[in-house]
Structure 1
Amino acid sequence: MDGIEVVVFDVLGTLVDETSGLRAEIRAAASGSDVDALVAAWQRHVEREQQRIARGDRAYANSEVIDAEAARQVADRAGRTDPAVIFRLATASQRLPAWPDSAAGLELLAQRFPVVGLSNASRAALLRLNAHAGLRWHLALSAEAASAYKPAAEVYRLAIDSAACPPERILMVAAHSWDLRGAQAQGMRTTYVHRPVGDSPTSADTFDGHFDDLADLAASLAS
C-alpha cells in the first residue's frame, strides 16, 4: 500500500471489544437476567436510533444520549431501578476493553504515520474510552462534530479535512465492512482487520488490504 500519509482507525469494535465490554457491564448491573438478550436489545436500540437519525426521522443525538436510552431499557427489562446502577450502565461504552494488539499496534504505526481515531462515540465518551483502553492518538475525532454517524459522508470528511491531504493518501482501518465502504465512497484507501465480532467483507468488496491483527498491518505498511 504505497503512498499512505495518514492512518485513520475506527474505534468501537475495531480497537476495543464492544460486545464483551457491554456484556460485562450488563452482567454486573443485571445479574440473574438473560445477559445475552439484554446485550442484543442494547445493540438493536443503538443501531435503530442511528438509522433514524440518518433518515432524518430523529434530530441528531450523541452517543451518550442513545446509550442512556439503551441503559434505561435494559434496566427496565431486568427490573433494576437504582439510579446509580442505571447511571453506571449508561456509561458502559466508556469502559470497553482494548483488543490485545490495539495499543501496541497503534504505537508501531504512530512511529511512521500520523494516526487518527474516527469514532461514532461522543467527544466526552471517546475521551474517557481512550483513557480507559490505553489508546494513544495523534488526533481523535468524534462524529459528534458532524452531527451524524458513520457511514454518513460528513463524518469521513472530518478525517479528510484534518489530514489535509488527498483522500487516496489516507488509509481507513476498520473491522466493519460497512464502515470501510463509507470511507471508500469518499475516496479513502481501506483495510479490513479481523475481529471476532465484526462485519466481514463480501465477495463484492474491494478493500486494499485484509489483516488478522495490527502487527501484520504495521509490517505491511513498513515494507
Structure 2
Amino acid sequence: MFLESKSTEGFVDLAAVKALTFDVFGTVVDYRSSIVAEGRRLSAAHGLDVNWGELADAWRAECRPSMDRAMRDASSWVNVDAIYRAVLDELLKRYGIAGLSEHEKVQFNLVWHHLRPWGDSVPGLERLRARYILATLSNGNVRLLVDMARHARLPWDLVLSSEMARAYKPDPRAYRMALDLLDLRAEEVMMVAAHQYDLRAAQHLGFRTAFVMRPLEHGPHAVPDLTADDSFDVVATDIVDLARQLDL
C-alpha cells in the first residue's frame, strides 16, 4: 500500500502498518456535547443556570496539571476518574452549583464513561478493523474505556490505557507500553489522533501518524487551528476518510 505523503519525499510506504492506536477523547468521542447534555439534565432537575459548554471546556483543560502531578512518583499516581472528580468538585464551587447529592456528583463524573461517538467513528473503525488491529491509546483509565466502548459500540480489539504504564501521554512510556503489549515495532503501528502534540510524541518514537480533524471538538463557536504538520503520514477529515485513504 502506498499513500501520497504530506512531505516533499513524494510517497510513503504504509504496507508495514499492522495496528492503529487511537487517542479517544475528542478524536473518537465528542466529550463536549455529551457533558453539555448531562448538564442540561441537571439544570432541568435543579433549576440551574450554567454555561455547560464553558464548564465542559474547563473540565477537560484543567485535568492536565493533575496528570503531571500524578507522575511525580509512584505514590502520587491517581487515575483519570479520580482526576476528573477532583476537578469537578472545584468547578461546582466556581460555577455556584449547589444542591447536588453525592450520588448526582458521582453520576455526573461518570459521564466520561458514556460519551457519544462522532457520527463517523463506528463506521470508520469497522472498516479499518477489516485489516488492522485496533486499540485505544488513551489517558482514560481501563474501566472508563471499557464502559465507553460498550456504550458507544466502539469495535476495539483491545483497550490500552496510560494507566497501564503509570504515565500520561505525551510521556514516551505510554507509547512504548503500547508497542510492548502489541509486540510490534514502532513502524508497524500508526497513531491516530486529533491532537498534534500526541502525534508528534508518537512520531518521535517511530510511529506512523494520522491526523484526524475535529473542528467541533471545542464547540461550534471555536476557531481551531487545523493546519496539519507536513510530517504526518495521513491527514483525514474524519475516521471514514482515514479508512478511505487506507484503501478500505
Normalised TM-score (structure 1): 0.91
Equivalence map 1:109-124=2 (5 Å): 109-124=128-143
Equivalence map 1:26-45=2 (5 Å): 26-30=39-43, 31-45=48-62
Is this contact kept in 1: 2:35–2:52, CA < 8 A?
A: no
Pairing partner for 2:183 from 138, 160, 164 = 164
Equivalence map 1:54-203=2 (5 Å): 54=71, 59-76=76-93, 77-196=96-215, 197=217, 200=225
Q: CA deviation at 1:44?
A: 3.2
Unaligned runs of 5+ residues in structure 2 are 1-13, 219-223
Is this contact kept in 2: 1:64–1:90, CA < 8 A?
A: yes
Structure-2 residue corresponding to 1:22: 35
Structure with the largest fraction of helix:
1
Q: CA deviation at 1:187?
A: 0.9
- Sort the Cα spacing of 1:204 and 1:126 in 2 relative to 1 into closer, same or farther, 3 A: closer
Is this contact kept in 2: 1:146–1:155, CA < 8 A?
A: yes
Pairing partner for 2:67 from 33, 47, 50 = 50
Q: CA deviation at 1:202?
A: 5.1
Give distance in 1, aligned partners of 2:66 and 2:181: 28
Name which one, 1 or 2, has greater alpha-carbon Rg: 2
What do you get for the CA RMSD once the two structures are aligned?
A: 2.2
| SS of aligned partner of 2:116 | coil
Structure-1 residue corresponding to 2:23: 10
Give distance in 2, aligned partners of 1:203 and 1:134: 29
Q: Deviations over 1:173-215 (max 9, x none)?
A: 1011011011111110101011122775656551111000212
- Sort the Cα spacing of 1:200 and 1:112 in 2 relative to 1 into closer, same or farther, 3 A: farther
Is this contact kept in 2: 1:176–1:200, CA < 8 A?
A: no
Q: Deviations over 1:59-116 (max 9, x none)?
A: 2210110111122223333123311211111111111100001111111011111111
Give distance in 2, aligned partners of 1:99 and 1:81: 30
- Sort the Cα spacing of 1:73 and 1:26 in 2 relative to 1 into closer, same or farther, 3 A: farther
Unaligned runs of 5+ residues in structure 1 are none
Normalised TM-score (structure 2): 0.82
Q: CA deviation at 1:139?
A: 1.0
Q: CA deviation at 1:20?
A: 1.4
Q: Does 1:216 align with 2:241?
A: yes
Q: Number of paired residues? A: 223
- Sort the Cα spacing of 1:221 and 1:152 in 2 relative to 1 into closer, same or farther, 3 A: same
Percent identity over paired residues: 33
Give distance in 2, aligned partners of 1:102 and 1:38: 25
Q: Deviations over 1:99-150 (max 9, x none)?
A: 0011111110111111111111111111111111110111111110011111
Q: Which runs of 4+ in 1 moved over 4 A?
A: 198-205
| SS of aligned partner of 2:124 | helix
User: What letter corresponds to residue 62 of structure 2 in structure 1?
Assistant: H
User: What letter corresponds to residue 62 of structure 1 in structure 2?
Assistant: N
Q: Deviations over 1:140-179 (max 9, x none)?
A: 1111001111111111112111221210121111011011
Moved more, 117-126 or 75-84: 75-84
